[in-house]
Amino acid sequence: MPGYLCATRHPWACLLFLLPLLIAYEVGVHWFGGTESHVLRNGADAWLRRVLTDYHSAAVFVPPWVILGILIIWSMYRWSDHPQEPFTACFGMLVESTIFAGLLWVVSRNFPMFLEQAGIPLANIGLDVPVGPRQPSLHERLLTYVGAGIYEEFLFRLCLISFLTLLLRIALLPDVPAKILAAILGAVLFSAAHHIGANGEKVEMMPFLFRTMAGLFFTILYLTRGFGIAVGAHAGYDIIVGVAVA
């Protein structure tokens, strides 16, 4: 078990786990979306591509290669202790992701009273619903949920939490307090990001608090179980809620 627990946090196992998800998402978005593929992109993926295309139109293809590049370089740096049975670790990561996604869904079911008071259906809390000129079908929405898991965890956990922790360590905070404070700040920013921009939701207390809690949950998974499981749990939760709504 200690070997497995370490293996799931290794970048090589994370790369192998995420590669089919990333390929399925990027190919699926172009296949089903066609000239309107942007309709199937939302959240962190849409933000990243919008910012990049402001500099160059070809930059829209950069984000997936950045994720792969970081994981490949990280894997090469850590190759001396790479897991000997990575595909076994990937299977365990799939199981864990499903369990944690279900756990978050169960936790979310404790919010009905608050949600009724706020006048917001539970199904819309923490769910990334595409907004565009047409309503995506169920299989297109499933692709979107996978993309939300990949890109939001990449931006808010792998990049933001690491960056905030580094800044706090530079500010001479010890490692544990730095990670705790970074987790809290990152969760608040993760929640706030859903209310920013043209497609951002109106700020309401209950969805904001729920997403902050979810952000903390995903951060704990990222720090303790690894980037891959955080992505899987995020995508899995969105899929569970999305299928339930559909």
More confident of the two residues 204 and 69: 69
Number of domains in the chain: 1
Query: Distance between CA 213 and CA 200 in Å, rounded?
Result: 19
SS3 state at 31? helix
Minimal CA–CA distance to 192: which of 180, 182, 200?
200
Minimal CA–CA distance to 240: which of 99, 114, 65, 55?
99
pLDDT above 70 (res 3): yes
pLDDT above 70 (res 211): yes
pLDDT of residue 119: 61
pLDDT of residue 130: 47
Burial pattern 12-25, b for ≥16 Cβ within 10 A else e, equals: bbbbbbbeebbeeb
User: pLDDT for 36-74, tens place per residue?
Assistant: 677 778 778 877 777 777 676 666 788 899 999 999 999
Segment 101-112 shows an average pLDDT of 83
Segment 7-17 shows an average pLDDT of 96
Query: Distance between CA 234 and CA 92 in Å, rounded?
Result: 16
Q: Is residue 128 very low, low, confident or very high in pLDDT (cuts 50, 70, 90)?
A: low
Query: Distance between CA 214 and CA 234 in Å, rounded?
Result: 9
pLDDT of residue 131: 45
pLDDT above 80 (res 115): no
Query: Which pTM was predicted?
Result: 0.87
SS3 state at 207? helix
Domain region containing 34:
2-245
More confident of the two residues 79 and 207: 79
**Which two tokens mark 199?**
């497609």
pLDDT above 80 (res 138): no
CA angle (203, 207, 210) in 5-degree steps: 140
SS3 state at 219? helix
% of the chain at pLDDT higher than 70: 82
CB-CB neighbours of 32 under 10 Å? 16
